[in-house]
Structures are given as C-alpha cells and as structure tokens.
Amino acid sequence: MKTNLGELLRKYRKGIRLTQKDVADTLGIDRSTYAYYEGGRSAPPLETLVKLSNMYNVATDDLLGNAEKALKLRQNPVSYKRDSSDISSGWLSEEERALVIAFRKLKVNRQEEIKTAIKDFDEKDREFFRTSSTKK
C-alpha cells in the first residue's frame, strides 16, 4: 500500500515528537505552509524536501513513496531488479531498450524460446553461486 507524502511527513514528525510549528520554525516557513504539506494540499519544493529528509533521517525516496525500491537498491545494488515494465523510464540503458523492442517484435514462439534460454542461464548461475559459496 502506497502512503502519500503528507501521511509520511505526519508519521515522521510525530515519531520524533515535534509539533507542526517546531518543524515549520526549523524550516523557516509558516506553520500553515507545513500543515498544507501534511494535509496534501501542496507539495514542498525540492530544497524543503531535502531538509525534511535530513530532519527525519530518512532518504528522500522514502518520503516520495519509493522506500521499497530504495531499500532494495541500498541493500544490494548489484542484484536489484530494474522495473522492466516501462522501457521509456531511465531504468533501462539504450542497449536494454533496444533488446526489449527487438524481443517484442519477435513471434510468440521465438519469445518463448528466448525466455526458456534465459531461465536456463539463470538456473546455471544460481547453481554456480551455490556450489562456489559452499567451497569456501
């Protein structure tokens, strides 16, 4: 379940027992402006978002609702699986986008052959890492 920015700001503020006025004073803004952020009536500018993430000791990704992806990336950046559902996003390199487009142009039976080959490679990789980690 995604949580919106306002809900997260309220949760983090209450977690460190601050009032909206305390946070607003620290940011140098009116309390009503901060209340609008928590209420979802307006969004903080990027500079304020960074200050809030520092104040609450969380990543800006956490505040923006990308906590799960951010956590996976921080825990293991090498094995983090990119979101391949959107080939226009910045997650794919030009080469990867070209491969996806080429794959989509193939007939279904050829796509199935490629999927099978990829699964076979994946299984061989897993087996290699299982056997190499037990040899240490």
In a domain, 89, yes or no: no
The pair of structure tokens assigned to 28 is 């140098």
- Tell me, yes or no, whether 11 and 60 share the same domain: yes
Does the pLDDT value for residue 30 go beyond 90?
A: yes
Name the band, by pLDDT with cuts 50, 70 and 90, for residue 133: low
- Tell me, yes or no, whether 71 and 13 share the same domain: yes
Distance (Å) of CA 42 to CA 20, 30, 34, 69, 91: 15, 13, 9, 25, 28
Q: What is the DSSP string of 77-108?
A: TTTPPP-TT-TTSTTS-HHHHHHHHHHHHS-H
- Tell me, yes or no, whether 31 and 60 share the same domain: yes
Alpha-carbon torsion (125, 127, 128, 133), positive or negative:
positive
Does the pLDDT value for residue 7 go beyond 60?
A: yes
54 or 133, higher pLDDT? 54
Quote the number of domains for the chain: 2
Provide the 8-state DSSP code for 16: T
Confidence at residue 100, expressed as pLDDT on a 0 to 100 scale: 80
- Tell me, yes or no, whether 60 and 105 share the same domain: no
Domain range for residue 28? 5-75
- Report percent pLDDT > 70 for the chain: 71
The CA radius of gyration of the chain, in Å to the nearest whole number, is: 22
CATH number of the domain bearing residue 46: 1.10.260.40
pLDDT digits (tens, 9 = 90+) for 63-111: 887 756 555 555 554 444 444 444 454 566 778 778 888 887 888 888 8
Confidence at residue 111, expressed as pLDDT on a 0 to 100 scale: 87
Confidence at residue 68, expressed as pLDDT on a 0 to 100 scale: 60
